[in-house]
Amino acid sequence: MYSEWPLLSVLIWTPIIGGILVLLAGDRDPSGARKIALLFSIVTFLLTLPLYTQFNTDTHLMQFVERHSWIDAFNIEYFVGVDGISMPLILLTSFMTVIVVISAWDIIEYRVSQYMAAFLIMEGFMIGTFSSLDAILFYIFFESMLIPMFLVIDIWGGANRIYATFKFFLYTFIGSVLLLVALIYLYTQSGSFAIFDFHHLRLTLTEQILIFLAFLVAFAVKVPMWPVHTWLPDAHVEAPTGGSVILAAIMLKMGGYGFLRFSLPITPDASAELDWLIITMSLTAVVYIGFVALVQQDMKKLIAYSSIAHMGFVTLGFFVVFRIMDGDNDAQGSVLALEGGMVQMISHGFISGAMFLCVGVVYDRMHSRQIADYGGVVNTMPVFAAFMVFFAMANAGLPGTSGFVGEFMVILASFKASFWIAFLAATTLILGAAYTLWMIKRVIFGEIANDNVRALTDINRREFLFLSILAIAVLALGLWPDPLVKVMHPTIENLLNHIATSKL
């Protein structure tokens, strides 16, 4: 029955309409705005569930497709659909939006309706980005979602928010411009903006390399990859909790998604040619950023750096496949690597979101993010401490949590490419544990450090609600990842076949 429905359009536009309604309701009645926002976010989430339950796992072809001509002059279409790569990301988006709405409930008191509206509208744009199959449609959503995010940081952000927004904007803007140039060039070659036409377009190696580099800048900034990562810690520090959650959980995934949807299939030969570059950048993210995270004094910065390190596994998994296919051994491991990168994206969405929410919980009480201002929080907030230690363990990749699955898959697969790639990637076991648990030691454990900590009250029912929902998600994915991995198989296998075939 669902295939009759334009389900994806409903998913894109429901939250946007909800956002507009919330805006119209305005701030005269903040609790009304909250309720409308919650209603719309939950409805959207429930509507995404059929994407999973009705998903056909036997085909790599796009599902829930809608295709209408839009701007005929340039052959631009309203063309949406999902496959095994985008569908889990859409679920993640709608899921995390519900969490953010709950988390902001009575924490945000200033311009409530606008805050809620920003996140709902952003949700629509993000779902649009993941489901667009037309390059221009993709580009519009890809850029549009930044606007509410800039506003969120600018209006509800911290003291240094102007600098952070500006840096964020500059980085992403440079990337976006190059992306647009590359897309227009591809249009001139294929006469269409359909992404799948790009996939089958034959390109010379030089063309591929130039396009690849343009994509790289756009997506590397989003992930973010070393060395274009420095906007992220600043943005996180200044963003309000909800902004950080969506930024870490969803927006960073746009970069990873872009590599899979654009770079690998459109420029497979350039990807193979330049895989060393991405692998080096990814491993640098794991090792270099791991060390940098160790010495952070601000909890949000620490988690931001930890995000960069964890996203290194995503890009490593995506590009190490070229080394695996190159090797003298059989190509077993390439599916594992790609799926590992995908799992890591979903898992990182839960865990980094949860970590930022944990910081938000104590920030709302203490108005400080400095590790040095804390100590012995477990004495006054035992339930919260249990959650935070749990998420920290997930962040450190403990088996049984989702954080383990993706890293495990990517490390196992990397060995097929080279012992040393696996070796460097596996250092995350030590570094990840070191920076996460050292923070836990200083923040959570110990004697009560000062009177502010003494005055803390444990989490309330609302906070308990969203933390436990996330904890269940992290645990479920860690104990049984098959339901997630299963839906990816046909898409990933098809993608591998595609990139294994040279375009030259």
Partner 1 sequence: MNMESVYLAIPLASLFGAIVAGFFGKQIGRVGSHLVAISGVGISTLLSLIVLKDVVIDGAAIYNQSVYTWMISDGIRFEIGFLIDSLTALMMVVVSSVSLMVHIYTIGYMEDDDGYQRFFSYIALFTFSMLMLVMSNNFLQLFFGWEAVGLISYLLIGFWFKRETAIYANLKAFLVNRVGDFGFLLGIAVILGYTGSLDYYEVFDRADAMVTATIQVIPGLDWSVISLACILLFVGAMGKSAQVPLHVWLPDSMEGPTPISALIHAATMVTAGIFMVARMSPLFELSETALSVVLVIGATTAFFMGLIGIVQNDIKRVIAYSTLSQLGYMTVALGASAYSAAIFHLMTHAFFKALLFLAAGSVIIAMHHEQDIRKMGGLKKYMPITYWVFLIGSLSLIGFPGFAGFFSKDAIIEATHNADIPGAGYAYIMVLVGVFITAFYSFRLFFLVFHGEERMDAHTREHLHETRPVVTVPLILLAIPSVIIGWITIESVLFGGYFTSGARDAITILESHGAMAAVAETFHGPARFVAHGFSGLPLYLATAGVFSAWYIYLKNPSIAETAKQKFSFLYRLLDQKYYFDRFNEIFFAGGSRGIGQVLWRLGDALLIDGLLVNGSAKLVGWFSGIVRQVQTGYLNHYAFTMILGLILLLGWAVLG
Q: Which residues of this protein are in contact with partner 1, per CB under 8 A? A: 167, 170-171, 227, 230, 288, 291-296, 329, 332-336, 339-340, 376, 378-379, 389, 393, 398-400, 404-405, 408-409, 411-416, 419-420, 422-423, 426-427, 429-430, 433-434, 437-438, 441, 444-447, 479-482, 485-486, 489
Please identify, using beta-carbon distances, which residue of 15 and 333 lies nearer to partner 1.
333
CB of 455 to partner 1, least distance (A): 18
Write down the H helix ranges in 192-333: 195-199, 205-222, 231-238, 241-246, 252-258, 264-266, 268-273, 275-294, 299-326
- Cβ of residue 313: shortest distance to partner 1, in angstroms? 13
Q: Taking each helix axis from N to C terminus, what angle separates 112-131 and 135-144, rounded to the nearest 10 degrees?
A: 160
Confirm if 161 and 238 have CB atoms less than 8 A apart: yes
Residue 20 or 295 with smaller CB distance to partner 1: 295
Question: Of the two residues 181 and 429, which places its CB atom closer to partner 1 in the complex?
Answer: 429
Contact 409, 343 (CB under 8 A): yes
Residue 365 or residue 416: which is nearer to partner 1 going by CB?
Answer: 416
Mapped onto helix, strand or coil, the DSSP state of residue 115 is helix
CA 247 from chain centre, in angstroms, equals 7
Residue with smaller CB distance to partner 1, 368 or 427: 427
What region does 63 belong to: left with phi over 0, alpha with psi -120 to 50, or beta? Answer: beta
User: Smallest gap, in angstroms, from Cβ of residue 330 to partner 1?
Assistant: 8
Which residues, 6+ apart, have CB-to-CB distance to 26 below 8 Å? Answer: 33, 113
Which of 430, 86, 196, 186 shows the shortest CA–CA distance to 290?
A: 430
Nearer to partner 1, 243 or 375 (CB): 375
CB of 395 to partner 1, least distance (A): 13
Residues facing residue 194 across a β-bridge: 134
The answer to whether 123 and 15 have CB atoms below 8 angstroms apart is yes
Question: Residue 169 or residue 196: which is nearer to partner 1 going by CB?
Answer: 169
Q: Which is nearer to partner 1, 7 or 285 (CB)?
A: 285
Which residue, 401, 302, 295, is CA-closest to 356? Answer: 302
Token duo for residue 49: 């569930």
Q: In angstroms, what is the minimal distance from the CB of 466 to partner 1? A: 18
Structure tokens at 24: 């119209």
CA distance 279 to 59: 30
Minimum distance between the CB of residue 69 and partner 1, rounded to whole angstroms? 37
Least gap, CB of 428 to partner 1 (angstroms): 9
Cβ at position 426, least distance to partner 1 in Å: 5
Least distance (Å) from partner 1 to the CB of residue 260? 16
> 124-151: b or e for each residue (b if 16 or more CB lie within 10 Å)?
bbbbbbbbbbbbbbbbbbbbbbbebbbb
Which phi-psi region, left, alpha or beta, contains residue 52 (left: φ > 0; alpha: ψ -120 to 50)? alpha
Nearest approach in angstroms of CB 94 to partner 1 is 24
User: Helix, strand, coil: what percent of the chain each, to 5?
Assistant: 75, 5, 20
Question: At its nearest, how many Å lie between partner 1 and the CB of residue 252?
Answer: 18
Q: Which is nearer to partner 1, 277 or 429 (CB)?
A: 429
The answer to whether 492 and 340 are in contact (CB under 8 A) is no
Going by C-beta distance under 8 Å and a sequence separation of 6 or more, which residues neighbour residue 325? 331, 334, 500
Q: Which of 98, 321 has the CB closer to partner 1?
A: 321
Nearer to partner 1, 416 or 503 (CB): 416
